Amino acid sequence: MSEPARQSESRGDAGEAAVYLRVVGCGNPHAGDDSVGLEVVRRLRARGEGACELLEMPQASVEMLDLLQGAGVVLFVDAVSSGAPPGTVHLAPLPSSVIEPRALGSLSGHGWGLAEMLGLAGALGRPTPRLMLLGVEVGTVGPGEARTPAVEGAIQIVVEKFPQLRVFLTGAGQGEGHDFRRFPPGDTTFPISTGDAPIAVGGQ
């Protein structure tokens, strides 16, 4: 299990974001496209994205409970395997019956994942912030493999459009439009509009 690596805790300018955003990259750094969440966080950090907190949490653990404290929105960035084309970007409220983050779902160790974290938080009476998933559809997750071009393309779009995503999640009107959205590979309209989003099924 792994504790979140708190390598950047900047909240940015006090008035810039009405809601404090914590971004948590998940996944296996040595398993091809499964590393996408960690890579997004690494690139956001490298370019000095300072108006949110950037954390790495390769896999689910009891320490996930700490992620719930002190944030208005927690955005998990993780690989997903839903059957969509590789490089598809999913934006969904969590917990979701529609899509499951690979590192936080049924594949996690000790039977500990997002559902258990929320269950324990509820049992302990800890408040839960809004939880969102930015999921990137994987192509290959073999050990030691490189990320696929489709996922690399998705990473580039997500990192370039991150300021819009941050405003979408935390700025004025942040309570609206948080239903399930899916962006096909290469769709640069992310995160605001897309041809088939929002999808009516919702995320809960």
Partner 1 sequence: MTQGNTGSAGSSQRTVKVDYLSRVEGEGGLYVRVENGQVREVKIDIFEPPRFFEAFLRGRHFQEVPDITARICGICPVAYQMSSVHALEAALGVTPGPEIRQLRRLLYCAEWIESHALHIYLLQAPDFLGYDSAIAMAADHPQEVERALRLKKIGNDLLALLGGRATHPVSVCVGGFYKVPRRKELEALRTDLEWGLEAALETVRFVAGLSFPDFAPNYEFVSVSHPDEYPMNERKIVSSAGVDIEPTEFERVFLEEHVEHSTALHSKRADTGTSYFVGPLARINLNFEKLFPRAKEAARATGIAWPCKNPFMGIVVRAVELVHAYEEALAIIASYREPARSREEFKVHAGEGCAATEAPRGMLYHRYRINDQGLVEFAKIVPPTAQNYRRMEDDLRLFLPGILERTEPEIARACEILLHPFLEAEARP
Torsion sign (Cα): 189, 193, 195, 196:
positive
Of 74 and 92, CB closest to partner 1? 74
Q: Nearest Cα to 179, choosing from 93, 66, 72?
A: 93
Instruction: Determine the residue type at 188.
Output: T
CA distance 24 to 6: 10
Smallest gap from Cβ 188 to partner 1, in A, equals 36
Smallest gap from Cβ 90 to partner 1, in A, equals 27
Bridge partners of 21, per DSSP, are: 73
CB distance 99 to 40 below 8 Å? no
Of 116 and 179, CB closest to partner 1? 116
Of 119 and 149, CB closest to partner 1? 119
Instruction: Assess whether the previous peptide bond of 191 is cis (omega < 30° from 0).
Output: yes
Smallest gap from Cβ 107 to partner 1, in A, equals 12
Residue 128 tokens, joined: 């839960």
Smallest gap from Cβ 94 to partner 1, in A, equals 17
Of 58 and 86, CB closest to partner 1? 58
> Binding residues for partner 1, per CB under 8 A?
1-3, 5, 59, 61-63, 65-66, 109-111, 116, 119-120, 123-125
Say which DSSP state 2 is in: -
CA distance 77 to 36: 8
Smallest gap from Cβ 66 to partner 1, in A, equals 8
Of 7 and 193, CB closest to partner 1? 7
Torsion sign (Cα): 55, 61, 63, 68:
positive
CA distance 126 to 171: 24
Of 59 and 174, CB closest to partner 1? 59
